[in-house]
Amino acid sequence: MSRTLIVAAAQTGPVARGDSRPAVVRRLIALLREAHGRGARLVVFPELALTTFFPRWWMEDAAEIDSFFEREMPGPETRPLFEEAQRLGVGFYLGYAELAEQAGRTRRFNTAILVDRAGRIVGRYRKVHLPGHRDHLPDRPYQHLEKKYFEPGDLGFPVWRSMNANIGMCICNDRRWPETYRVMGLQDVELVLLGYNTPIPSVMTPQYDHLAAFHNHLSLQAGAYQNACFVVGTAKAGQEEGSNLLAGSCIIAPSGEIVALAASKGDEVITAACDLDLCAINKRTTFNFAAHRRVEHYRLITERTGAAPPAG
Ligand code: ING
């Protein structure tokens, strides 16, 4: 009996600073319904799907900053999405800005949750790799202040058994780091879900703005191939508050092939029938970790943070 799961990437176009949560949730529900109509039973929304990509701005007013965060999930404004998904029997990944009170401290994370087909939150992930900078760089056309507004994730890269699959999550910049996929690969992940908001040009590497789409797919395809898993990458795309966000949402097979690709820069559903048993082809051969990996030679990966040149 094959374990085929029809998965959807529910790409969204821009979300304006003034777009209300209910208005955005209505868009997400429309995408969820379209995905369901096409047979999808798991839908992946973008990173920070509920708001504009606010780390592009330097803000100092605490109330303004916190207006982009969710204090409860689901809350009154996001519950309609959970209720419709449960009614339709569809699970989903949702990226959002999480404000959590933990041990008397207020914590802020760039977060994603995995919700199963019964509407239960079965997994939570907090973005580990925060790109950009912490300080105001006024000479730049826009900022990239995730290090100012979020803490690094404190949950690692878990994998959950849900919907008859081993499912892991990450967020945006995480997809550029091979460690992200390998930690999940070592937990036998079969499906990695992620959303992204990728400005072009990136303020970090404007020299590569013509390669933004290539680097996006390169990262996703490498992660899928080298860990024998499906990868779903879902963009918030288009011209958002003066910033051009990369589209290119896609679904990658364990072979590394792109099996579904968005054609627009707006709200768009793409789907693929993911036969999870295809993961076994490379998990048992080329990427049979137990048979081929030599961990005694990998020590530097966890012991050294930054690169150090050879002596001499
Ligand atoms: N955005 C970008 C991303 O990793 C970036 C930041 C763009 C980093 C281009 C390096 C190069 O796709 C987020 N939100 O991480």
List, in order of start, the domains of the chain with CATH numbers.
4-293 (3.60.110.10)
Phi/psi for 45 (5° steps) reads -90, 170
Cα–Cα distance, 93 to 50 (Å, whole number): 12
Instruction: For residue 76, count CB atoms less than 10 angstroms from its CB and return exposed for 0-12, middle for 13-18, buried for 19 or more.
Output: exposed
Average pLDDT, the chain: 97
261 forms beta bridges with 250
Residue 39: what pLDDT? 98
174-200: average pLDDT: 98
Q: Which residue has the tokens 């933990």?
A: 102
**Residues near ligand 1 with C-beta < 6 Å?**
131, 172-173, 176, 196-198, 202, 204-205
Residue 246: what pLDDT? 98
Distance 269 CA to ligand 1 centre (A): 22
- Residue 222 CB neighbours (<10 A): 17
Element (H, E) at 7: strand 4-11
CB 238 within 8 A of CB 268: no
Count how many residues are written for the chain.
312
Helix%, strand%, coil% for the chain, nearest 5? 30, 30, 40
275-299: average pLDDT: 98
Cα–Cα distance, 235 to 172 (Å, whole number): 9
Indicate which residues carry an active-site annotation: 47, 127, 172
Residue 2: what pLDDT? 85
Cα–Cα distance, 47 to 200 (Å, whole number): 16
Ligand 1 atom closest to residue 205's alpha carbon, by position in its atom list: 11
Read off the pLDDT band of 153 (50, 70, 90): very high
HSE-up of residue 190 (Cα within 13 Å, Cβ side): 19
The residue type at 177: W
- % of the chain exceeding 70 in pLDDT: 100
Distance 172 CA to ligand 1 centre (A): 6
Instruction: For residue 71, count CB atoms less than 10 angstroms from its CB and return exposed for 0-12, middle for 13-18, buried for 19 or more.
Output: exposed
148-176: average pLDDT: 98
Short-list 88, 266, 92, CA closest to 191: 92
Provide the 8-state DSSP code for 41: S
What is the token pair recorded at 263? 């054609």
Residue located nearest, by CA, to atom 15 of ligand 1: 173
- Residue 36 CB neighbours (<10 A): 20
Whether 202 has a pLDDT exceeding 90, the answer reads no
Peptide bond into 74 cis (omega under 30): yes
Residue 267: what pLDDT? 98
| Residues 39-90 pLDDT 10s | 999 999 999 999 999 999 999 999 999 999 999 999 999 999 999 999 999 9
Whether 171 has a pLDDT exceeding 90, the answer reads yes
211 forms beta bridges with none
| Residues 230-254 pLDDT 10s | 999 999 999 999 999 999 999 999 9
CB 260 within 8 A of CB 39: no
Element (H, E) at 299: helix 299-303
